[in-house]
Chain A
């Protein structure tokens, strides 16, 4: 009897057309990660991801590898303002990733994501470094 188990591929369109499996993690102390930052690993490839900065004093830097957040392959989510203004969110980003890296002095970060059911190996098997696109241009 065959023991092959077939799963969806990384570019399986239907996996991105359906809504995501929920994933959320909050109260993240990014400051504890130092310069290297902290890593959030998803159990499946994401369909989308959003980062919310609840810290009122510090921005948070978002990248897709440790090298990225230490170097220049990252972007910033601003701190939460002390009034009704401000934009302390990345907004929903449609990205197929297996990890997220955060750095900076912020101590209260939330991450919410919608997951596909595509195994993480579908990304790691084609990444230059074997991990979440690390080594690609624009990731670091």
Chain B
């Protein structure tokens, strides 16, 4: 008897058209991870992801930035974006928009000790990304990832 188990492929359209399986992680102390960054792994390929910098700093909205990338090299180098903290008046970028990205992990670095991540997951196994990645992990090694 065959024991093959078939799962959706990485470009299966329907897997991204349905809403995501919930995933969230809060109270992340990114500052403790140092320059190499904090790695957050998803159990399935993400359909979308949002990063929130929960840090308040009175009168200063760039005192505790968090950097978002997709590999350790990316957050140590230039392949990342920055999310500012909020000041007491509510100024600052504070969060990313919902980013439609098929990733299996994100990397965070910076000086914020209060970061939250919320994501919508597909049911596509992470191996579908790792098998296609140059380094074998979450697109690492690709242009724009690092």
Contacts and interface: CB of A to CB of B under 8 A. Distances in A.
Interface residues of B, number: 36
Interface in B96-135: 97-98, 116-121, 123
A72 interface: yes
Contact of B118 (A16, A47, A93): A93
B57 to A, nearest CB: 13
Nearest to B94: A87
Interface in A64-121: 64, 68, 72-76, 78, 81, 83, 85-87, 90-97
B23 A74 contact: no
Contacts of A74: 24, 26, 116
Interface stretch (B63-71, B72-80, B83-91): B83-91
Contacts of B25: 72-73, 138
Interface of B is mostly: strand
Contacts of A12: 18
Interface string A109-140: 00000000000000000000000010011110
B27 interface: yes
Given A94-B47, A138-B119, 15 more contacts: A11-B123, A16-B18, A17-B17, A46-B19, A72-B26, A75-B26, A76-B116, A86-B89, A87-B90, A87-B94, A95-B120, A96-B20, A136-B21, A138-B23, A139-B24
Interface of A: 10-13, 15-17, 46-48, 59, 61-64, 68, 72-76, 78, 81, 83, 85-87, 90-97, 133, 136-139
